[in-house]
Amino acid sequence: MQLPFGEWLPDQPDHLKKGANVATNVYYAQNSYKRFPSLVDYSTNTIIKDSRGAGSFRDNSNTVYNFVATKDTIYKLTSGTFSDVGASGTLLSNSYATCTITVTDYSNIATDSTIVLTTHAGVAVTFTCQGAGTGTPATNKFFHNESNDTTADNIYTAINAHANFSAVNPAANVVTVTRAAVGNDNLTVTSSDTTRMAVTNFTGGSPLTGETTDFITFTQFGEYVIVSNGVDAVQYYLMGTSTAFADLSTIVTAGTAPLFKVSGVVRDFLVTGNISGATNRIQWAGINDIATWSGKQSDSQDLPGSGGRVTAITSGEVGYVFRQNQIIRMDYVGGSVVFRLSVISPNRGAVYARAVCQDNRRVFFYADDGFYEIQGDTVVPIGAEKINRFFDLDLNKAYTDRICAAVDPFNQLAMWLYPSVNNTTNTTGICDRIIIYNYVTKKWSLAEANASTIFSQFVGAYTVELMDIISENLENINAALDTDFWSGGQQLLGAIDSDYKASIFSGNSNISEIETDEVEPYPGLRSNILGVRPIINAASTVTIKTRERLQDTASESSSVSTVTSGVNPVRESGRYIRTNVKIASGTSFDHAQGIDLSATKAGVRWVIKLI
């Protein structure tokens, strides 16, 4: 009997659901599953910390600009290398807190005298004088000998060996120490001998001051990229001209630009929302002019009712303003009204700010009661009785601010990266799963990926290695090497992975797993399973899960590989049967459609009546 895998329906009972029980590292195409690719990193360096936002843009000359933000600063990704482009013109490399230690009268520094440095996290690290001597002192210790300059060199050597600090080899008797982590907390430095080892407290810190839960919004308006987190001054970058981000206020010519958290572009207007001091307010700049906040049809509107703060604004001819529990449609009408605001969802919005994504006019979002799509003025449920309950139980509620939505327009997939309860060792909020919605087939699936951000990304192939990553196989390249395809015309699903590197989903290092629904091949009878023929154009392994009663926990057979005949010769018996199929990492396949199950009746009793 042939059993198609069917769509993944974790909210439905395992038995007789007419859909897959498991669909991991795949996505549902038309009548089959395809592999969802694994992450492949390509940047030569890292952004040091988790990403809190990212954006990929092209200017009018078709030049690509990729930006990634952490809690502390903004990076530009060029030719596979991250460079700090700062905030308010302040570069991260100039923002690590530093202190100084000045050595005098070295010979009278007493043994066991101490210098205590504090990390950004508040951990005190003590460096101790081991007395006069030569050779190699113990860890975190130094000798005083020869001169003030030499003793300063010894202090430098001890501190520079510690992972939380770095120091420059001093040219004289002053040691300058830099912390390894950005931050302006816990700046105290102490010395037990302030006469002979005079110290200054750490100064400097982070150019951005938002918390780790503050996300960063990137919006393109013409040749400008606008960046905001609702805490620090709004930033701008003029593509083709700027070398670092600067305060938007420096180019404002009329009115005052607000401090806002989210933004979008509706028609010819930069529309901002969640304004500092008025989280339910939206405000827009003048028509086709981000420098004008007074006149030229610029205005603001406080959104009434109990919809909560503004969490997202979509872009396009029509805009949608998401509040926590409300959605408002923005239509440009001009005149003194400028925008008509229509509530299309009075009681449902987007609680989590980064849980909204769009592909042109198709807008997808996660509300507190499940997944939805906006179609015109209608909010359509897309996850009800399919995956909503699964997601609610699987989401790690301690890190809901980490949810990040993105669209893969090439494969017509809307996706939500999230931290799951499945990762029991997660203490940082790193995301480990992606729930995937194919908005053409209207089917769901699941993937595993460790990342802090996913986003649609223009990727230019600047090396042969990156060309291979993008195309999977250099032999299959059918695009000329001098076309825009390789210089940034290719839009791919990108990510910042758990190693803080730029990555794209183009690998096959993950294991694809699909499991059929539970069937009873012979109603009322047990079955003997003789073999399974996977309807997949790749080798796979199979296990059979069986149980005798619906209240029982299913038992699983050992894994069996495909033999030359195309059959996985698994032997098992039971009343209720599920077939689990795994396709190994490194294996490519185009279609996974289902299985062909070979089974016979088991335990049939013949009753012979003698007359």
**Is residue 33 within 8 Å of residue 23, measured between CB atoms?**
yes
Residue with tokens 């690509």: 64
Class of domain 96-199: mainly beta
Shortest CA distance to 513 belongs to which of 435, 449, 592, 568? 592
Instruction: Give the pLDDT score at 79.
Output: 87
Q: What tokens were used for 277?
A: 């001091």
Q: Which residues of the chain have pLDDT under 50?
A: 473-481, 483, 485
- State how far the Cα of 396 lies from the Cα of 484, in Å rounded to an integer: 41
Entry pTM: 0.83
Given 2.60.40, 2.60.120, 2.30.110, 1.10.3470, which CATH number is that of 2-36+511-602?
2.60.120
For the chain, the average pLDDT equals 90
Quick: pLDDT tens for 393-409: 999 999 998 999 999 98
| Pairing mode, strands 235-238 and 141-142 | unpaired
- Other C-beta atoms closer than 10 Å to the C-beta of 64 total 21
Extents of the domains making up the chain: 2-36+511-602, 96-199
Quick: pLDDT tens for 4-38: 999 999 999 988 888 999 999 999 998 899 999 99
Could you tell me which residues come within 8 angstroms of residue 314 by beta carbon, excluding any fewer than 6 positions away?
264, 320, 322, 356, 358, 363
Residue with tokens 């003029």: 238
What is the distance of C-alpha 14 from the center of its chain? 31
Instruction: Give the pLDDT score at 466.
Output: 55
Q: Give CA separation, 226 vs 81, 189, 247, 505, 523, in Å.
A: 22, 38, 10, 26, 63
Shortest CA distance to 263 belongs to which of 254, 255, 272? 272
Query: Going along 335-412, which residue ranges are E strands?
Result: 338-345, 356-359, 362-367, 370-375, 378-381, 404-408
Q: Give CA separation, 547 vs 145, 193, 311, 522, 582, in Å.
A: 78, 75, 47, 14, 21
DSSP state of 94: G
